[in-house]
Amino acid sequence: MVQLIVSIILYFVMFFGIAFIVNMLIRKTWLMAFLYPLIILLMIDTLSTWEYFTNPGQSFTTLGTKLASLTAFDIILFIFGFLGTIVAGYVMKLLRKSGYRMF
């Protein structure tokens, strides 16, 4: 239980920080929220990205099996990571609205 709480905080803060930095550098507020599912699929998947182009049938079947075998612990962590990216987008919008031009 302690590991779950620490992991939730870690995922939230880690993806908040990554999304905040990416949003600050390229000034696209919701980019990380759209890229987050792709990042998660890359984290879950053990195949190379090239396999999806050379052998799509087996690659997507393997990905579906991996997604179906996720535990509740994994899903909770991924949800809190996504929430971190969403909160980072709102913070960026709030900072821009408050007059901070570098954000």
- Tokens 């990571």 map to which residue? 81
Asked if residue 7 belongs to a domain, the reply is yes
The total of structural domains in the chain comes to 1
Asked if residue 6 belongs to a domain, the reply is yes
Asked if residue 103 belongs to a domain, the reply is no
> What residues in the chain have per-residue pLDDT under 50?
none
Asked if residue 102 belongs to a domain, the reply is no
> Domain containing 60: what range?
2-97
pLDDT at 46: 83
Q: What percent of the chain has pLDDT over 90?
A: 51
* Residue 40 to residue 82: CA distance in whole angstroms: 10
* Residue 40 to residue 97: CA distance in whole angstroms: 30
